[in-house]
Amino acid sequence: MSPPLSGVLVLDLSRVLAGPYCTMLLADLGARVIKVEHPQEGDVTRAWGPPYDPASGMSAYYLSINRNKESIALDLASPAGAESVRRLARRADVVVENFPPGGLERFGLSLAAMREASPRLVTASVTGFGRVGPDADAPGFDLLAQAGAGLMAITGEADGEPTKIGVAVSDLLAGCYAAVGVLAALTGRERTGRGAHVEINLFSATLASLINVAQMVLVTGEEAGRHGSAHPQIVPYRTFEASDGAFVLAVGTDRQFERLATLVGRPEWSAGSYAANAGRVAGRVALESELSRILRGDTRASWLARFRAAGIPAGPVRGPLEALRSETARALDTLRAHSGVEFVAPAVRIEGEDRRLEFPPRLDEHGEAIREEFDLP
């Protein structure tokens, strides 16, 4: 079975994370992605190390977001480089870019002109804070988006400082939304015969992903706080400590809480003020304090086995390497290997399709072949 995006050509004018993550998702689904890089340094993430893969010399950061792509080095500031982009765009189905607003136009290139030359073309732009408003010129850094869109303010312990999430999640969210927008535009093109432009920014992507927290503050008119690993609207739903390590307990329904109360020897909890979630939220401090004391009385493995048997959602707190080496990851075929390097496999699985994995390209690795195929100057 051919991959769903087989035959789709993507011209990737992006770099760093949000744009390349979007194009990698498209490549994982079978699109041919031609990544345009600066002739000297290439994508800046090539130098974002250590660590580096000793065989290829590529940074782990670059390896993580550039599988299944081809690389050509073009200097967009030169007439030949800009003309090469125009020719590639005329043949492409999709163009993705994440230059600052006006950045692409400085090279005499514009997505509007590309779409005029090729009406079926789908274009996508990823910026930091959009093209209008007081922050339009702000750099598109993930840290600024996490901070400015309210995500850091709700992350961390209640008595601690606002905290950045451990990965560049605003970039990743923007990349995912951009990929969804591109796929929608490609589908619409089949009906209308014309392409469309997709506009994504890190700020809006992060705001949209606040989901229940955003709706909560809109309903109450009150600013959200931090709850550490806990949930603002569900109790108990957080990290707890056993006698030998941490685990999470996610009691999302009253029925699950009733089973929990029985299991920990407090059946009276499910008949009193804690019977409904609203009462548990109101009594969060006292309930979690007593539950914490009980849970410290046995090992993590013992609690997790008992919770699973009782149908109570719970799980271990793992480090990334521990998670990647876990039995769950192994059962789900989460890791793939190529040229002696392990990669995290694509999360999307489509029945009958073997998830492709081509090693991330060296700078200009496919340049000569692409220049010949597309008759580039």
Which residues are the active-site residues?
171
Phi-psi region of 364 (alpha: psi -120 to 50; beta: other; left: phi over 0): left
**What does the block give as tokens for 69?**
């792509």
Q: If DSSP codes are grouped into helix, strand and coil, which group holds residue 125?
A: strand
- DSSP-assigned letters across all residues of 48-59: --S-B-TTT--B
Q: Which long-range contacts (CB under 8 A, 24 or more apart) does 183-187 make?
A: 183/26, 185/122, 185/124, 186/8, 186/93, 186/94, 186/122
Other beta carbons less than 10 A from residue 63's beta carbon: 22
Contacts of 185 (CB under 8 A, 6+ apart): 122, 124, 195, 196, 197, 198
**CA nearest 204: which of 176, 227, 166?**
176
Distance in angstroms (rounded) separating the CA atoms of residues 126 and 95: 11
**Whose CA is closest to 333, among 321, 314, 310, 349?**
349
- Which amino acid, 376? L
Q: Within a 10 A sphere around the Cβ of 265, how many other Cβ atoms?
A: 9
Q: Which phi and psi angles does 363 have, rounded to 5°?
A: -60, 125
